[in-house]
């Protein structure tokens, strides 16, 4: 069996968005499941959209996610170079080979002529398809244009009748009408290949066995197949995956301002939680299980279980995954991690106090930056909201509970959680209050909050003197 080789081929246009990363995860798991190679290739044929430093972002993202890149721009092997702008001569050679074979042709049409064709197509309310006029130029005319330096592109010559069949692991056999296929540009006038052409050449030359891409490109795959056939090359296995939709039902994209991996990472989402969440967007394991380590994902991944239908990106579900991974962290590791997100002014606080504060909220946060929101009451002026006031006035017993609790707190000689819990128990015994009528008045009056971590932990951090003042 031929060694499985998959490739992740992003454009260097900024941070990697979530939909793109999910494709990378599928490609990585597929390669590793079969002990194959995972290749990184940079598709920078659209030079105008290239962003400085974007290749580093891609590497940082894949490294943080725990992907071992077997080959790529920073790890060159015999299939390089791995950046498309460094492979221009290769594409030109193959484009000219197709011209020789009569499967492609020089197109000298100016932008004005193409605009005129587009306008006519719009008027007829039909999609624009190039009319192939340059494919009918005489050999003499072509030679004359080339000799005179007339700018040209090279277009693929599409069959105008019949069908092209695309075989896909998820969707089976798809029939594409050749009449809807445009004579696509293979080589642009600046000598750069188009995305579709470069992909086919590189996938063949790099021995890529499986191509995972968005379902929205399924029709385009017919053009790929015709290129493979024109060269007499073996086609890779195609796996088209349905889109990840945003919470508003539209396709996730950087242009829509949707979260990228780095945005999430900087907000305090853990890479392993992001990977675990994303892999389950459009893929289901055999067993009813949600939490997977990378090794378990590799072991359990089955490409035939990728879903045909779109999945929705749900921040609440991502938060659930992330909260799980935060809870699983060892306390020391958690403290080192959470302190990079903690922005409160702790000038008058001891390290022990800060560590305790951060630890009591370990089970109460779902991402790093949230620590500031949940702990802000410890750093701002004490006050009671209208809702808090309303609760304190909701039952006559509440004043008795607070008066009793104040006496109990005042009598504590050694300030620790155990003695605070004893004070709460004594208040329960003396007043007969329990549940909501016991805990809520104490929490509200002492912390200004209606909910929070263990009450004794919270009171310990507020301090005996401050609590007596508030009571």
Q: Which residues are catalytic?
A: 254
| Cα(375)–Cα(189) distance, integer angstroms | 59
Q: How far is CA 334 from the centre of its chain?
A: 23
The answer to whether the beta carbons of residues 294 and 66 sit under 8 Å apart is yes
Residues 377 and 356: their CA atoms lie apart, in Å, by 15
- Quote the distance between the C-alpha of residue 356 and its chain's center: 33
Give the containing element (helix H, strand E) for 296.
helix 294-300
* CA gyration radius, the chain: 31
Class of residue 136 by CB neighbours under 10 A (exposed 0-12, middle 13-18, buried 19+): exposed
Which residue blocks in 65-168 are alpha helix, DSSP H? Answer: 88-100, 111-123, 139-147
DSSP state of 394: S
CA distances from 319 to 107, 314, 397 (A): 53, 9, 39
List C-alpha distances in Å: 238 to 139, 219, 224, 416, 434. 38, 12, 11, 63, 63
Distance (Å, whole) CA 56 – CA 52:
9
With H, G, I as helix, E, B as strand and everything else as coil, classify residue 155: strand
Contact 174, 218 (CB under 8 A): yes
306 phi, psi to nearest 5 deg: -75, 135
Q: How far apart are CA 211 and CA 40, in angstroms?
A: 13
Token pair 């912390």: residue:
447
Beta strands in 261-400 (DSSP E): 311-312
Which residues are paired to 283 by β-bridges? 306
Q: What distance separates the 2 farthest-apart alpha carbons in the chain?
A: 108
Measure the CA–CA gap between 56 and 74, rounded to whole angstroms.
10
Q: Identify whether the C-beta of residue 297 lies closer than 8 Å to the C-beta of residue 274.
A: no
């Amino acid at each position: 069996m031929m060694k499985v080789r998959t490739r992740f081929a992003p454009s260097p246009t900024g941070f990697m968005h979530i939909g793109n990363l999910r494709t990378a995860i599928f490609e990585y798991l597929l390669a590793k499941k079969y002990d194959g190679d995972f290749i990184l290739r940079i598709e920078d044929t659209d030079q105008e959209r290239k962003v400085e430093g974007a290749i580093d972002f891609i590497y940082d993202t894949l490294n943080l996610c725990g992907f071992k890149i077997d080959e790529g721009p920073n790890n060159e092997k015999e299939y390089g170079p791995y950046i498309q702008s460094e492979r221009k001569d290769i594409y030109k050679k193959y484009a000219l080979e197709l011209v020789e074979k009569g499967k492609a042709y020089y197109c000298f049409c100016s932008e004005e002529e193409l605009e005129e064709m587009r306008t006519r197509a719009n008027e007829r309310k039909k999609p624009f398809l190039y009319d192939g006029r340059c494919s009918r130029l005489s050999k003499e005319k072509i030679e004359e244009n080339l000799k005179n330096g007339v700018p040209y592109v090279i277009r693929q010559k599409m069959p105008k009748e019949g069908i092209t069949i695309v075989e896909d692991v998820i969707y089976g056999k798809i029939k594409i009408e050749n009449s809807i296929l445009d004579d696509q540009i293979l080589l642009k006038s600046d000598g750069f290949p188009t995305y579709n052409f470069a992909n086919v050449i590189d996938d063949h030359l790099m021995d890529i066995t499986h191509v995972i891409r968005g379902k929205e490109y399924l029709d385009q795959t017919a053009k790929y197949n015709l290129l493979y056939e024109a060269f007499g090359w073996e086609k890779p296995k195609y796996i088209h995956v349905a889109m990840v939709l945003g919470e508003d039902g539209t396709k996730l994209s950087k242009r829509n301002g949707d979260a990228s991996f780095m945005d999430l990472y900087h907000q305090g989402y853990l890479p392993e939680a992001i990977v675990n969440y994303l892999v389950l967007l459009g893929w289901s394991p055999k067993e009813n299980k949600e939490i997977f380590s990378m090794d378990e994902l590799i072991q359990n991944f089955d490409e035939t279980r990728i879903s045909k239908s779109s999945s929705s990106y749900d921040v609440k579900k991502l938060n659930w995954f992330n909260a799980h991974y935060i809870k699983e962290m060892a306390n020391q590791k958690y403290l080192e991690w959470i302190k990079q997100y903690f922005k409160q002014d702790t000038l008058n606080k001891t390290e022990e106090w800060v560590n305790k504060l951060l630890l009591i909220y370990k089970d109460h946060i779902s991402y790093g930056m949230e620590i500031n929101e949940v702990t802000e009451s410890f750093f701002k002026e004490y006050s009671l909201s209208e809702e808090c006031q309303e609760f304190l006035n909701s039952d006559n017993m509440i004043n008795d509970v607070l008066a009793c609790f104040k006496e109990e707190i005042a009598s504590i000689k050694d300030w620790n959680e155990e003695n605070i819990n004893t004070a709460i128990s004594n208040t329960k015994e003396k007043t007969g209050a329990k549940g909501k009528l016991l805990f809520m008045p104490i929490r509200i009056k002492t912390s200004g909050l209606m909910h929070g971590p263990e009450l004794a932990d919270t009171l310990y951090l507020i301090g005996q003197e401050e609590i007596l003042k508030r009571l």
